[in-house]
């Protein structure tokens, strides 16, 4: 059974860097013909896609002004993990962050496996 | 503001049917597949429908999806109290090169 588990960074201060790791069990990132990625949800609000990565390292990122140029996603197939890095965080980045499997085609999102989510709070 | 537009809420009595609309444009729904997700309170979203109208294994046929032009619809028949949740549509936007979601619709069983 495929499972995804996010790391838990907890509380960050404004201007710090958020680093999250998703550990995948039950499937190999190296041999998986799937995109993997990150989605976040601010408290009481809707879903926002952050970005996706293929095991080869090919990436897509949300071009929105709230995220553009601050995000990077990487994959470590030897550890069966992929990671999110978000620099210069502000209170607006406070959200539950989910890692997920997004399907075999970047342009055909089928988000069928989700982590349980981890709450990241940015506050001084 | 979300790229895809959903009604904030819909409601119906147990056993009845509800439909949730998801409106977009030619760069997203009009030329790409739509998926739907159910999010029960305090939990991660769950895939209900993919490629417009396909159900993953284990999703009852009370849930259905359709697409016409630049709009998509999720239908839920035989409404149950356990269906009370937030529902999101999602697709790819070819102009943005991004996965986009609707703002979500809260389903209330009266």
Nearest-Cα distance to chain A for B93, in Å, is 8
d(CA B57, CA B24): 27
CB A81 within 8 A of CB B12: no
Q: Does B65 touch chain A (CB under 8 A)?
A: no
Cβ contacts of A110 on chain B, cutoff 8 Å: 33, 35, 47, 50-51
Q: Does A115 touch chain B (CB under 8 A)?
A: yes
CB A61 within 8 A of CB A68: yes
Q: Does B42 touch chain A (CB under 8 A)?
A: no
Which is nearest to B76 in space by CA: B40, B103, B49? B49
Q: What count of Cα atoms within 13 Å lies in the side-chain half-sphere of residue A81?
A: 12
Are A98 and B92 an interchain contact pair (Cβ–Cβ within 8 Å)?
A: no
**Quick one: pLDDT at residue A30?**
81
Q: Does A62 touch chain B (CB under 8 A)?
A: yes
Q: What is the pLDDT of residues B8-35, one digit of tens each?
A: 999 999 999 999 999 999 999 999 999 9
**Quick check: B50 pLDDT over 90?**
yes
The minimal CB distance from B101 to the residues A37, A47, A108 is found for A47
d(CA B38, CA B74): 11
d(CA A9, CA A81): 16
Q: What is the pLDDT of residues A12-57, one digit of tens each?
A: 999 999 999 999 999 988 877 899 999 999 999 999 999 999 988 8
Mean pLDDT, chain A, as a whole number?
94
d(CA A122, CA A34): 31
**Quick check: A74 pLDDT over 90?**
yes
Point out the least confidently predicted range of A26-30, A93-97, B39-43, B90-94. A26-30
CB A24 within 8 A of CB A36: yes
The minimal CB distance from A46 to the residues B92, B98, B104 is found for B104
CB B64 within 8 A of CB B75: yes
Q: Does A107 touch chain B (CB under 8 A)?
A: yes
Cβ contacts of B88 on chain A, cutoff 8 Å: 46-47
Q: Does B46 touch chain A (CB under 8 A)?
A: yes
Are A112 and B98 an interchain contact pair (Cβ–Cβ within 8 Å)?
A: no
Q: What is the pLDDT of residues A104-117, one digit of tens each?
A: 888 889 999 999 99
Q: What is the pLDDT of residues B82-98, one digit of tens each?
A: 999 999 999 999 999 99
Which is nearest to A37 in space by CA: A87, A70, A71? A71
Burial category of A34 from C-beta neighbours within 10 Å (exposed 0-12, middle 13-18, buried 19 and up)? buried
Nearest CA in chain A to B43: A116
């Amino acid at each position: 059974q495929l499972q995804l588990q996010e790391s838990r960074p907890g509380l960050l201060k404004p201007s710090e860097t958020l680093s999250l790791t998703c550990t995948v069990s039950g499937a190999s990132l190296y041999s998986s013909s799937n995109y993997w990625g990150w989605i976040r949800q601010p408290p009481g609000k809707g879903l926002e896609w952050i970005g996706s990565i293929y095991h080869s390292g090919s990436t897509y990122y949300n071009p929105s002004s709230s995220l553009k140029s601050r995000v990077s996603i990487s994959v470590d197939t030897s550890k069966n993990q992929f990671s999110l890095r978000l620099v210069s965080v502000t209170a607006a980045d406070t959200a539950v962050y989910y890692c997920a499997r997004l399907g075999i085609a970047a342009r055909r999102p089928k988000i069928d496996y989700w982590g349980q989510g981890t709450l990241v709070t940015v506050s001084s | 503001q979300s790229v895809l537009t959903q009604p904030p809420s819909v409601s119906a009595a147990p056993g009845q049917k509800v439909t949730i609309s998801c409106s977009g444009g030619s760069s997203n729904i009009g030329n790409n597949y739509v998926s739907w997700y159910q999010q029960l309170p305090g939990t991660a979203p769950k895939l209900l429908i993919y490629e417009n109208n396909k159900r993953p294994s284990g999703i009852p046929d009370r849930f259905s999806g359709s697409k016409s032009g630049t709009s998509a619809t999720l239908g839920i028949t035989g409404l149950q109290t356990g269906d009370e949740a937030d529902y999101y549509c999602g697709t790819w936007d070819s102009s943005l090169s991004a996965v986009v979601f609707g703002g979500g619709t809260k389903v209330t069983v009266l």
